[in-house]
Every structure is written in structure tokens, then in C-alpha cells.
A and B are shown apart, each in its own frame.
Chain A
């Protein structure tokens, strides 16, 4: 049943000149699951998510959303289909207020004197504050610049924004990469909340310890190729770690260090 999958990449390749960024990658995202995309630097994770987000078009292969083949020419088109991507830079402007960032590009409008369309700032402020509160972040004032928020709060703001605007698929690019332990935990909780709402999540990371607790399935990427997709029930954390590029190297390093210490 193709319809079980909200998003599918079928044998997709992407070339940049002579560089093969992706080679025959197949990825299937079920409705309401958290799918972890694991891979080391240079594995093609960024190219893959940019393809999903509509920034790149596949050089070959098919991209299907809810069973229908699509070809997005811009991120906006993907967004209109409910595929929202939260990049590492979070697409937040530090000098702008929380509310203005929350609604950037999709400003709520009202008519001033019945004719002039203006931003409904009151609605924007209240909604931004409420949505963040739902995610467990209290903002003193939605008019404060985003630059005053911590990294974890910014991550949550970006995710809350995507959810608010009706994301069916949430693509998170290394959301925990620059965060501390507690903040990473908050972001993982947020992913869980999103799943409870029926949102499908693609969670990109190279940290198995973050990926394993939350994910329902994993796809491993290495040097532009998929090393396969595994359901969490079929695979242990150690096995995932081993399969990742660098996993074995880390293990041998651990052995070596422990051997030296002993």
C-alpha cells in the first residue's frame, strides 16, 4: 500500500556537475512516525533534505507525496503541501521580534479602516506567545528580539512555527547539534509532541543517543548511498552505532583507550 507512506523517495540521485551527492537513495516515511536519518558529515544528508524541501530537484528518480509524484520548483511549493523544514540556521532573524519571526512570510492580516491590509500584531503576539507556551517556553514579551533567546528556545520556536502552520511532515536538520543535554531533551520532547499530533517527522542527526529513544525507524546514509532502513524493533542502539560511518572507528578508539587505561 503506497498510501501508507506520506512521503517517498524512490531511487533518487542528485548530481552537482561531476559530484554524485546522492546515488539511488530510497526513503519512505510512514504517517505519524519519527524517522531518523543518520549519517556522518558528507554523507549527503543535507542534499537529501534539500531535495525533500524543494530546494533541489532530483536528477533522477521519483519523489512522491501521499502517493502522488511531485516536482517542487521552490521550497514554497513544498511548504504549501505541508512539508516544513527546520534548518540548522533555523531561518530566524535575531534582530526581529519573536512574533515577527514566528509569522515571517505568513503574516496574519487585518484591514485597517476596512481597506488597508496591515499585520494583525495583536493576534501575532498572542498566538506566538500561546504556541510557545504549549511547547513549554514562556516568553515575557513576544516583542522581544529572538537574539535574546537561548539556542534551545530558538529551536523550539522554529519547530512550533512549523507545526502552527500546518506542517504534515516536519524535517528537522540536526536540531540537537548545538544544544546542551537539557535543551536537547526539550527538543526531543517536542518531537514526541509533534508525533502525538499525527505529524510525521524526519529527524536528521549524527547522534545515535538522541536518535534512538525517539525514532520509530532509521535510515543510514553513507557517501551518498542509503545503507538501508531499519525499524526500531529490529535493531539495537549498538547495531545502529556500528553501522554508522565512524561507529566502528569510535569503538576501536574506545577499546584502544580503555586498553591503555587498563
Chain B
């Protein structure tokens, strides 16, 4: 702290020294700001620092355990990827000042929408996947419509849908499959080349085989690489993250998201279509939840009524760790992605250490609290006049 003060006072002195030479071009009331403080104003700083911290921690406690071997990396990256997809959607919505607590339930719901039609109604899989996306996005639009129409907090509206959708998932799966699990849909995925290519398994298989052939990565005794490729979920995470980050920082719609979240009344007064922005972001979170659900069904080969339980909270935690303000108007997709990465590393990493994995939630709660305090500090600095 004293170093910062010193550099600041140096700068003030510098300004004073130069002031007489160029009195018209510089404003004596404008203070120079050190690069360090500019960095502090970035929303993603906390989560990047947190990620480094987490990697150092597990590097020390689980360095030799295989956590950072290729299969270990894929292992926790996959967990991060699933959550990351949710976090990307939740992040944009939270910057716009709203929550979607129905995301977790939507995952389970999307799963049964994908699994039941081909198993019990003779639909082709591609149709049921399209149906699931359309259905979820329509529900997202309904969520959004109810929020902007009633002006009720999205917390309460989406809390209602969290229960409604979880209940419907249970009703549908027990009604059709007479069980909370709808199994057998994995075979359908194997039969559909397009859906399979989009959502199942891994990609870049040739690269990994090639690398294994050159003995650059670990091999199984059979000669196949220990990891068959990059899981599709990571590809989707990358695509969603890059797209959302681009939209938020570079496009007009991104500017609208910030404006709506920063002050929705101001947004309305400058002509931003507040309702349209919010509703489309609820559709986005529903899309992300559905994508999560479809990828999971493709991966596991079945749908189940309890899928995605509490994922809405994990997504919100990842977003908050990523530096997005709960009140909206400030945040970053990159931060949210790092938040999700922290999640994946901690959740999987803890089982590589000697630490009892029951500590996982304690750790996460602690991270959340720290992140919120840090964000609060950043916000009060950015919003203050001096």
C-alpha cells in the first residue's frame, strides 16, 4: 500500500513539475493513475489471481498425483467446461441485472426432452434434440417475459420455475420410463452421425493418436493414447465463451447489456430496448442449460430427473468469482470462465490430494465470500467520484 501511495505522490509531483510548461494542455485536476490501479479496475483480475492461487495450491499438494497428467487435466477441464457453458450464459444475464435460478432444473428437463421422444414416441433423435432446444428456449423466453412484464425480481420468478421444471422432469420420466432415469438413449446418439458429431465424445482424435504415435503423450498398453481427444464440451465452452465475450465487449448488444444492468431506467431513457435485451438473455441462459443437458445425456447415455441439481448456484458462484457484480452492470465473460475453471480444478483436484473431499464445499463457500468482498471493494472504487 505504501508503495502505491509513494508512486502516486511521485506522480503528483511530476505533474506539478510539468504544469508550468504546458498549462493549457493538461488539467491540473486530473490525476495520473498507475498501471497497477488500472489493472485493479478489471473485473476478471480476482478470478485470474484465484486461478493462479488454486493451481499453486494443487501444484504443491497434488503435484505428483497425476492431476496434471493429460488424463487428469481432461478430467477437471471437463468439469470446468460443463459449468463454464452455464457460467457464460449466467454471466451475461447477471451483467444485465437478472438471475436465472431455473438453469439447474432446465438441465434435467432438457435431458428428458431429448431422451423420451426417441425412446417412447418413435421420434428420430435429431428431432428430439431440436425439440429440447426449442422447448427450453421458449421457457427461457417465458421466464424473461414474466420478469420484465411483472417487474418482479427474477430471483422469485425463476425460483418458481426451478421447482416447476424439476417437478415436470420427475413427472415425465416416471410417467414414460416408470423410473427417474431414462436410459438407452446413448444408442440413439451412436446411430445419428450429425447429433453424434455435435455433442458426443471427443474431437481432434487424429492429433492425439499422432502425438501418441510419436511418444509425446502417454499411451495405454494397446498403443492408443490415454486420452482419445478433446471432449466436445470443451469445444462448446470455447465457442460459447469466445462468442459471448465478443458480443459483450465489442458489439452494440453488449453495450446494451451493460447499460440495462447498470441502470435499466437510464437504458430505457436512451432508447435501449430493455425488455428485448433481458428476454433474449433469459433465452440464452435456457440455451446454455439445454446445451449442458444434451451434452450430458450424450456423454452418460441416459437422462435422469436429478441432473443439474444446484448447478444454478454453482454457475452464479463461478460468475461472481469472475468479478461480475450481483447487482449487474459490471463483469466479464473471461472472468466467469476462470471462475468455472477454479470450480473444476477444486472439485476434481481435491480428490487427488490427501485432503478429505468433504472440504470441497467449505472451500467454495470461502472463495465465494472472498470474491464478493473483493468485488464490493472494486465497485465502490469505480463508482466513487474521487
Give A residues with C-beta under 8 Å from B. 75-76, 79, 85, 87, 89-96, 100, 103-107, 109, 112, 117-119, 121, 138, 140, 145, 147-150
A107 touches B258 (CB 8 A): no
By a CB distance below 8 angstroms, the chain A residues around B325 are 95
List residues of chain A with CB within 8 A of the CB of B228. Answer: none
Q: Among residues 253 to 272 in chain B, which have CB atoms less than 8 Å away from a CB atom of chain A?
A: 254-256, 258-259, 262-263, 265-272
Task: Say yes or no for B197: interface residue by CB 8 A criterion.
Answer: no
Q: Is there contact, CB below 8 Å, between B263 and A89?
A: yes
> Are B266 and A145 closer than 8 Å at their CB atoms?
no
Contact B259 A138 (CB under 8 A): no
- Check B30 for interface membership: any CB of A closer than 8 A: yes
Task: Choose the segment among B72-80, B115-123, B378-386 that binds chain A (4+ C-beta atoms closer than 8 Å).
Answer: B378-386
Contacts of B265 in A (CB 8 A): 89, 91
A82 to chain B, nearest CB (A): 13
CB pair A104 B385 closer than 8 Å: no
A75 CA to B269 CA, complexed, in Å: 7
How far, in whole Å, are A107 and B259 apart by their CA atoms in the complex?
12
Q: Please name the residue on chain B nearest to A139 by beta carbon.
A: B30
9 A–B pairs (Cβ distance < 8 Å), ordered by A: A75-B268, A75-B269, A75-B271, A93-B259, A94-B383, A95-B382, A105-B256, A118-B251, A149-B385
CB pair B266 A93 closer than 8 Å? yes
Q: Give the most central of B255, B258, B272, B386: most A CB within 10 Å.
A: B255
> CA A138 – CA B25 in complex, angstroms?
9
* Complexed CA–CA distance, A90 and B263 (Å): 11
Give the residues in chain B near A91, CB-CB below 8 Å. 263, 265-267, 269-270
Q: What is the CA–CA distance of A105 and B274 in the complex, to the nearest angstrom?
A: 10
Q: Which residues on B sit within 8 Å (CB–CB) of A87?
A: 269
| Contact between chains at A109 and B252 (CB < 8 Å) | yes
With A87-B269, A105-B259 as given contacts, are A95 and B250 in contact (CB-CB < 8 Å)? no
CB <8 Å contact, B383 and A145: yes
Does B329 have its Cβ within 8 Å of any Cβ on chain A? yes
Say whether B30 contacts A138, CB under 8 Å.
yes
Note all chain A residues with C-beta closer than 8 A to B254.
119
Question: Are A92 and B252 in contact, with the CB atoms below 8 A?
Answer: no
Given the known A-B contacts A91-B263, A145-B382, are A138 and B27 also in contact in the complex, defined by CB atoms under 8 Å? Answer: yes
Q: How far is the CB of A14 from chain B (nearest CB, A)?
A: 19
Is A147's CB under 8 angstroms from B384's CB? Answer: yes
A91-B263, A117-B251 known; A150 vs B258 contact (CB < 8 Å):
no
A87 to chain B, nearest CB (A): 6
Given the known interface contacts A90-B266, A105-B259, the answer about A119 and B252 at a Cβ–Cβ threshold of 8 Å is yes
Q: A90-B266, A93-B259, A95-B383 are in contact. Are A105 and B272 (CB under 8 A)?
A: yes
**What is the minimal beta-carbon distance from A172 to any residue of chain B, in angstroms?**
13
When distances are taken between beta carbons in the complex, the residues of chain A under 8 Å from B266 are: 89-93, 104
Distance in angstroms from B252 CB to nearest chain A CB is 4
B330 within 8 A of A: yes
Query: Which 9 A-B pairs rank lowest in CB-CB distance, beginning with the nearest?
Result: A93-B262, A91-B266, A105-B270, A91-B269, A105-B271, A147-B383, A107-B252, A118-B250, A76-B271
* Interchain nearest-CB distance for A226 vs B (Å): 25
Q: Are A93 and B268 in contact (CB under 8 A)?
A: no
Interface membership of chain B positions 342-386, coded 1 if the CB is closer than 8 angstroms to chain A and 0 otherwise:
000000000000000000000000000000000000010011111
Q: Which residues of A contact B267 (CB under 8 A)?
A: 91, 93, 104-105
B255 touches A107 (CB 8 A): yes
Chain A, residue nearest B258 (CB): A96
Q: Once the chains are docked, how many angstroms separate the CA of A118 from the CA of B254?
A: 10
- CA gap between A213 and B23 in the complex, in Å: 32
| A96 contacts across to B, CB distance below 8 A | 258-259, 262, 329
Complex CA–CA separation, A108 to B357 (angstroms): 51
Contact (A104, B30) CB under 8 Å given A95-B330, A95-B379: no
Which of A91, A112, A140 is the most central at the interface, judged by chain B CB atoms within 10 Å of its CB?
A: A91
Contacts of A89 in B (CB 8 A): 263, 265-266
- Residue from B251, B268, B270 with most neighbouring chain A CB atoms (10 Å): B270
CB 8 Å contact bits of B265-309 with A (1 = contact, 0 = none): 111111110000000000000000000000000000000000000
A75-B268 Cα distance, complex, nearest whole Å: 8
- A117: chain B residues at CB < 8 Å are 251-252
Please, which residues of chain A bring their CB within 8 A of the CB of B329?
Answer: 93, 95-96
Query: How many angstroms between the C-alpha atoms of A79 and B270 in the bound complex?
Result: 9
Instruction: Give the one of A85, A96, A106, A140 with max B CB within 10 A.
Output: A96
Pick from A103, A106, A107, A121 the residue with the most CB of B within 10 Å. Answer: A107
Question: What residues of B have a CB within 8 angstroms of the CB of A121 in the complex?
Answer: 250
Judge whether A104 and B379 touch: CB under 8 Å.
no
A181 to B383, CA, bound (A): 24
Specify the chain A residue showing the minimal Cβ separation from B26: A138
Across-interface contacts of B330 in A (CB, < 8 A): 95
Residues in A whose Cβ lies below 8 Å from that of B386 = 148
Contacts of B268 in A (CB 8 A): 75
Residue of A nearest to B30 (CB): A140
Q: What A residues does B272 contact at CB under 8 A?
A: 104-105
CA distance A148 to B256 in the complex (A): 21
The answer to whether A148 and B27 touch (CB under 8 A), given A90-B266, A104-B267, is: no
A33 CA to B386 CA in the complex, in Å? 37
**Chain B residue nearest in CB terms to A112:** B250
Structural contact, B270 and A119, CB atoms closer than 8 A:
no
With a CB–CB cut-off of 8 A, which chain A residues contact B270? 91, 104-106
Given contacts A91-B263, A105-B267, 13 further A-B pairs with CB under 8 A are: A91-B267, A95-B325, A95-B382, A96-B258, A96-B329, A100-B255, A104-B256, A105-B272, A117-B251, A119-B254, A145-B383, A148-B384, A148-B386
Q: Which of B263, B265, B325 has the most CB of A within 10 A?
A: B263
Q: Which of B215-272 contact A (CB under 8 A)?
A: 250-252, 254-256, 258-259, 262-263, 265-272
